[in-house]
Amino acid sequence: MASAVRVRFAPSPTGEPHVGNIRTALFNWLFARHHGGSFIVRVEDTDQQRKVQGALDSILLTLRWMGLDWDEGPIDSNNGSQGSYGPYFQSQRLAMYLEATNKLVAQGDAYACFCTPERLNGLRKTQTDTQTQIGYDRHCLTAFTSDERQRLVSSGADHVVRFKIPEGQSEVVIHDVIRGDVEWDPSLLDDFVMMKSDGFPTYHLANIVDDHAMEITHVMRAEEWLPSTPRHLLLYKAFGWEPPIYAHMPMILGNDRAKLSKRHGATSTLDYKAGGYLPEALLNFMALLGWSFDGHMEIFSRGDLIKHFTLEHVGKSGAIFD
């Protein structure tokens, strides 16, 4: 491998860490330790409305309890960071997202949109009623010149910034270590919001600006993020940056093969701590949610897991949690 492995666990502090979140953290940690690389924790706290008091404490407590130590990231939930790529709280990196946004606007790859929620709701309703593709209609791109948009922004008009999906773009291909090449038709994507009106970035923008700035080599995350990846690849291209290697991990399912949720019983990792389970046992159990060594061996020490963990042995299909 050319450069040292750098992977991240990027939780949003919006609730108690569930089994799926911690499995993501565990696989990233095992991958980093196996390759002698760095495991980074980055707090994705840009959604001010969904932030839950105490959630980050629970996440950090779980990581510490399970022995998933991080090389860079928050020191505690009170905004302190350690590591040379910090800060590791997205809410403290707003200037970088603004700079990135301005760059794409100047290039013509993004534009300010002044549409009101009423207009957007009306648009969606019309699209639903007429069964046409749902998505932004580029009103602000076509109704104003870039100078007019600039003037409106300077005068303090309420606006978001949208990424302009390139026209005539052929298939977007995600090279995924676990899934192989996944093709995506970009005509299904609309000009998504990258910067919100409150000056906070959306997940898409903040995620890739940080993965680039923090020199993340591999993005290992849950399968549910796969539909976001084509947007991320288009952003990377617009910025002229090299995307990381992707590995989307299999879903975790309940016994009935439905996506794991509260109705399947305890799904918060801290419930297992409270129930007296040993961290080594949970570590062993969770490692087998999507990964296997030879299909037979089931008992692994922490050292065994580090030694044997590779992405080649992570499967595509859902892992049953029982």
The catalytic site residues sit at 262
In the shown chain, the binding pattern of residues 247 to 286 toward ligand GLU, with x for contact by CB under 6 A and - for none, equals ----------------------------------------
* Residue 136 C-beta: closest distance to Zn ion, Å: 7
Query: 114, exposed or middle or buried, with CB in 10 Å at 0-12, 13-18, 19+?
Result: middle
Distances (CA, A) of 34 to 9, 150, 311: 16, 50, 11
Member of 225, 239, 241, 293 binding ligand GLU (CB under 6 A): 225
Out of Zn ion, ligand GLU, none, what residue 139 binds, judged by CB under 5 to 8 A for its kind, is Zn ion
Out of Zn ion, ligand GLU, none, what residue 207 binds, judged by CB under 5 to 8 A for its kind, is ligand GLU
* Residue 211 C-beta: closest distance to ligand GLU, Å: 8
* Residue 244 C-beta: closest distance to ligand GLU, Å: 10
In three-state secondary structure terms, 81 is strand
Asked if 93 is part of the footprint of ligand GLU (rule: CB under 6 A), the reply reads no
Find the helix or strand (DSSP H, E) in which 98 lies. Answer: helix 94-107
CA distance 130 to 136: 15
Contact 15, 47 (CB under 8 A): no
* Residue 26 C-beta: closest distance to ligand GLU, Å: 14
- What the block records as the tokens of 84 is 């040379």
CA distance 320 to 24: 15
Out of ligand GLU, Zn ion, none, what residue 140 binds, judged by CB under 5 to 8 A for its kind, is Zn ion
Residue 113 or 205 with smaller CB distance to Zn ion: 113
Asked if 221 is part of the footprint of ligand GLU (rule: CB under 6 A), the reply reads yes
Asked if 114 is part of the footprint of ligand GLU (rule: CB under 6 A), the reply reads no
Residue 93 or 149 with smaller CB distance to ligand GLU: 93
Q: Radius of gyration (Cα) for the chain, nearest Å?
A: 21
Q: How far apart are the first and last CA of the chain?
A: 36
Contact 251, 223 (CB under 8 A): yes
Residue 12 or 58 with smaller CB distance to ligand GLU: 12
Contact 283, 67 (CB under 8 A): yes
Member of 10, 25, 41, 104 binding ligand GLU (CB under 6 A): 10
Q: Is the peptide bond prior to 87 cis by the omega test (within 30 degrees of 0)?
A: yes
Sign of the dihedral through C-alpha 116, 119, 120, 121: positive
Binding region for Zn ion (CB under 5 A): 113, 115, 139-140
Asked if 44 is part of the footprint of ligand GLU (rule: CB under 6 A), the reply reads yes
CB-hemisphere CA count at 13 Å for 152?
Answer: 18
Out of ligand GLU, Zn ion, none, what residue 62 binds, judged by CB under 5 to 8 A for its kind, is none
* Residue 55 C-beta: closest distance to ligand GLU, Å: 11
Member of 5, 6, 7, 12 binding ligand GLU (CB under 6 A): 12
Backbone angles phi, psi at 273, to 5 degrees: -65, -50
Does residue 295 come out as left (phi exceeding 0), alpha (psi in the -120 to 50 range) or beta? Answer: left
Residue 149 or 218 with smaller CB distance to ligand GLU: 218
CA distance 58 to 270: 8
Residue 11 or 74 with smaller CB distance to ligand GLU: 11
Residue 38 or 140 with smaller CB distance to ligand GLU: 38
Member of 11, 74, 83, 243 binding ligand GLU (CB under 6 A): 11
Residue 44 or 223 with smaller CB distance to ligand GLU: 44
Question: What is the bridge-based pairing of β-strands 73-74 and 81-82?
Answer: antiparallel
Which residues contact ligand GLU by CB under 6 A?
10-12, 44, 207, 221, 225
